[in-house]
Amino acid sequence: MFGRRAAPPASKPAAEPPRDRPPSAAAPPAAAPASPRSSELDQRLSDIKIAIFNDLIDSVDPTELGALEPAQVREEISDIVAEIISMRNLVLSAAEQQVVIGDICNDVLGLGPLEPLLARDDIADIMVNGCDKVYIETDGRIELTDIKFRDNAQLMNICQRIVSAVGRRVDESSPICDARLADGSRVNVIVPPLAIDGPTLTIRKFKREKLTLDKLVEFGSLTQPAARVLQIASAVRCNILVSGGTGSGKTTLLNCLTRYIDTAERIVTCEDAAELQLQQPHTVRLETRPPNLEGIGAVTMRDLVKNCLRMRPERIIVGEVRGPEAFDLLQAMNTGHDGSMGTIHANTPRDALSRVENMVAMGGYNLPAKAVREQIASAVNLIVQASRLRDGSRKITHITEVIGMEGDVITLQDLFVFEFMGEDSRGRVIGRHRPTGLRPAFWDRARYYGLDGDLAEALSESHA
Ligand SMILES: Nc1ncnc2c1ncn2[C@@H]1O[C@H](COP(=O)(O)OP(=O)(O)OP(=O)(O)O)[C@@H](O)[C@H]1O
Ligand SMILES: [Mg+2]
């Protein structure tokens, strides 16, 4: 139990407008509730909620509440809210009372109006563009919700709460921040003056149920034989780049591929925000660090990749290759760390290679282009291209091998491609995954691991 302040005043009108609060205080509840109700009812409940919330803040200290277990806080809040309701003679049904208590708990304990969205596992992304526009992505489609924050101050408060959990803060002087929610969801916050229309919050929801290659086959993202070929490529230590646009499913696919790594192997993962979930016991997870408020102490992806070469890794997995660490990763792939993997933002396998080339150039090495390409050609075995199509579906559009060089050009061969054929009356993309029938260049590698029989079987199935 914690000490309460003076008893809440009984005589205030229920619809009293919210008072201004310093940014550190708990934010009052959202003006409009999440669930669709008639607007008049919404307004009445919302006014009652704000009035009760203000009384609650008058009677208890939110910092004391923060020190308690969430279940205890809920219990305390329920008691006090029931007391306030009876003192104010408010007319609320039992269901409405539960809604009010739930929303107030979400404000004191969690992320306010976003709480109902965080509880849903079908949402891939939550995108908040200022206080009155909250979008979600489900099944590859983006839609506007009816969730609103009371004002930008409340949203800013919630952003602050998220980033302070990872020891950072956002304000005018440091308006960009990456963070992570307690459940592992990845968060980006950008606030005014950089975000012109108010604080902007983007959350990539952490999925409790991780997708597997079998699930991706079920969803029609790739065919069973193609999935089998990827499993074998991963098990026989091919160096693999997963390429794709934003939100195309790169990290998901990389996570799927890591399942086929032998449990005895020592793996080091390097990520900006830990998203991968490796099953293998001998895994070391590393995470980059942004600079602190004084602008020092940053640890970049390149620092991590370089360091992990001194950690005797058997495989290096880089969450996202986006800068000069590309050079170090290529070196690692070329020097006995077979089976290393990473994702890269690119729209085609060929683009992925050009991006790697540019990233190496960013590192300031004055290497001739041909030398860099030779490095890439001998390091990378396979590029898997993920795409989010215009109907929102996610597909593996290419499984492409890097074969070698012809003159100055890296040669590629597709093993599987997705052929776009049109769309149906409901706007869904129609197409098919086609095997090219070419013999994989990693055949000998598969034979070395005793998996050439499986590879032959998968390829013959793909033609069936
Ligand atoms: N093949 C798929 N079918 C359906 N949903 C998928 C598929 N692949 C990924 N998803 C879902 O899409 C969302 C985005 O996936 P993921 O994080 O892997 O994308 P990403 O390309 O790594 O994104 P970013 O560029 O932001 O890092 C996740 O919610 C994931 O569960
Ligand atoms: Mg990703």
Does the predicted TM-score (pTM) go above 0.75? yes
Output the residue whose Cα is nearest ligand 1's atom 28.
Answer: 124
If you measure from the C-alpha of residue 329 to the centroid of ligand 2, how many angstroms do you get, rounded to a whole number?
Answer: 18
If you measure from the C-alpha of residue 394 to the centroid of ligand 1, how many angstroms do you get, rounded to a whole number?
Answer: 8
Name the closest ligand to CA 243.
1
Q: Ligand 1 pocket, 250 CB below 6 A?
A: yes
Output the residue whose Cα is nearest ligand 1's atom 15.
Answer: 249
Q: Ligand 1 pocket, 255 CB below 6 A?
A: no
Pocket test for ligand 1, best of 122, 216, 251 (most atoms within 8 A of CB): 251
Q: Ligand 1 pocket, 319 CB below 6 A?
A: no
If you measure from the C-alpha of residue 169 to the centroid of ligand 2, how many angstroms do you get, rounded to a whole number?
Answer: 24
d(CA 69, CA 65): 8
If you measure from the C-alpha of residue 140 to the centroid of ligand 1, how many angstroms do you get, rounded to a whole number?
Answer: 9
Q: Ligand 1 pocket, 117 CB below 6 A?
A: no
* Inter-CA distances, 50 with 29, 103, 145, 251, 401, Å: 6, 10, 21, 41, 60
d(CA 148, CA 124): 19
pLDDT per position in the chain (464 positions), as tens?
A: 444 444 444 443 333 333 333 333 444 454 444 444 456 667 777 778 778 877 877 777 666 766 777 778 788 888 888 888 888 888 888 888 888 888 887 777 778 889 889 988 899 999 999 999 999 999 889 999 999 988 898 899 899 888 888 878 888 888 999 888 888 899 999 999 999 999 999 999 988 788 999 999 999 999 999 999 999 999 999 999 999 999 999 999 999 999 999 999 999 999 998 889 898 999 999 999 888 777 788 999 999 999 998 999 999 999 999 999 999 999 999 987 889 999 999 999 999 999 999 999 888 888 899 999 999 999 999 999 999 998 999 999 999 999 999 999 999 999 999 999 988 888 888 999 999 999 999 999 999 999 999 999 999 888 77
Q: Ligand 1 pocket, 246 CB below 6 A?
A: yes
If you measure from the C-alpha of residue 183 to the centroid of ligand 1, how many angstroms do you get, rounded to a whole number?
Answer: 17
Contacts of 61 (CB under 8 A, 6+ apart): 2, 3, 5
Q: Ligand 1 pocket, 211 CB below 6 A?
A: yes
If you measure from the C-alpha of residue 250 to the centroid of ligand 1, how many angstroms do you get, rounded to a whole number?
Answer: 6
Q: Ligand 1 pocket, 257 CB below 6 A?
A: no
Output the residue whose Cα is nearest ligand 1's atom 3.
Answer: 394
